[in-house]
């Protein structure tokens, strides 16, 4: 991106807050899955087809207690975020969905449910994508423009997203700026995500304290902000209702937000706003 075409207002950093809404669509034998959800703060990966009532309640916490804290914090600080949401989660949490819409946040598709799509054949994956689009459009009034899979994608995913009218894809961790990919000569914008600053680290690496996580996020922001003086940068910051929404963690999100807001030249934007601006200033070149 040329200096004249950097982020709006001459910003040196595009700051992307991404709130994952997965609660209520995770794996459970109650919904016909072969086993319970394996992502568990306790690290208990049950392989039997039994209900893991404890872990299910941990996910419910995200909707009942975590979501109100996260939404209030975003509202208090005037933060517009991208909610990467599993469609069924939004259906099952109408009050949260209404608050997301009322707040002017973007909803990016995180699948029909928060399940693995990488084992799906092409027809099943196409149906999975279409169900997610139809559901999100019904619950929010707007179809999703971006997609984030649960961890892995298939060789067909990006082509199917193009065919179904998606303008950007998040399943990539290879850069701090968007870039174009082409499938069968057709372009789609890749808006990379980040795992290292994601609050999921506090589940997968229990020795990481909220203070450590917050400091890592601040260090990430500071370095990208520094680089952005010469070349524009983007920071992706992933959050989960059931994780950051806990009372011992939510304050550290506020500390990070306050740190960001003390800096000039930061454009806090949704993924779609970032994608639209990038596409307008950096149109895709014809593929070979």
The pLDDT assigned to 143 comes to 98
pTM: 0.94
Tell me: pLDDT of 44 over 90.
no
Residues forming beta bridges with residue 266, ordered by sequence position = 13
CATH code assigned at 21: 3.20.20.370
Domain with 104, as residue range(s), is 8-281
The verdict on residue 165 lying in a domain is: yes
Give the model confidence (pLDDT) of 181-198 as tens digits. Answer: 999 999 999 999 999 999
Does residue 287 belong to any structural domain of this protein?
Answer: no
pLDDT tens for residues 50-61?
A: 888 888 899 999
Element spanning 212, H or E: helix 210-227
First to last CA, the chain: 22
- Please name which of 280, 82, 281, 279 lies closest in space to residue 181, comparing C-alpha atoms: 279
38 in a structural domain:
yes
pLDDT at residue 52, as a whole number:
85
Q: How many domains does the chain have?
A: 1
Amino acid 287: pLDDT: 58
Domain presence at residue 204: yes
């Amino acid at each position: 991106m040329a200096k004249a075409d950097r982020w709006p207002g001459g910003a040196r950093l595009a700051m992307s807050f991404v709130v994952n809404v997965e609660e209520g669509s995770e794996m459970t034998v109650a919904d016909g899955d072969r086993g319970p959800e394996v992502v568990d703060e306790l690290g208990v990966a049950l392989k039997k087809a039994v209900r893991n009532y404890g872990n299910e309640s941990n996910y419910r916490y995200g909707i009942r207690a975590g979501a109100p804290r996260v939404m209030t914090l975003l509202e208090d600080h005037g933060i517009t975020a991208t909610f990467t949401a599993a469609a069924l989660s939004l259906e099952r949490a109408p009050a949260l969905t209404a608050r997301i819409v009322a707040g002017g946040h973007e909803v990016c598709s995180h699948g029909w449910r928060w399940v693995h799509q990488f084992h799906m054949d092409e027809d099943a994956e196409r149906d999975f994508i279409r169900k997610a689009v139809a559901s999100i459009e019904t619950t929010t009034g707007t179809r999703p423009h971006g997609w984030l899979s649960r961890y892995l994608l298939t060789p067909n995913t990006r082509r199917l997203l193009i065919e179904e009218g998606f303008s950007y894809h998040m399943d990539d961790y290879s850069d701090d700026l968007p870039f174009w990919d082409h499938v069968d000569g057709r372009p789609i914008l890749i808006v990379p995500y980040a795992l290292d600053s994601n609050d999921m680290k506090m589940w997968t690496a229990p020795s990481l304290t909220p203070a450590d996580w917050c400091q890592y996020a601040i260090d990430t922001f500071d370095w990208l902000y520094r680089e952005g003086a010469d070349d524009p940068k983007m920071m992706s910051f992933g959050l989960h209702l059931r994780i950051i929404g806990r009372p011992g963690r939510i304050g550290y999100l506020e500390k990070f937000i306050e740190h960001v807001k003390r800096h000039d030249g930061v454009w806090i934007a949704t993924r779609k706003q970032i994608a639209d601006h990038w596409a307008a200033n950096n149109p895709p070149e014809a593929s070979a």
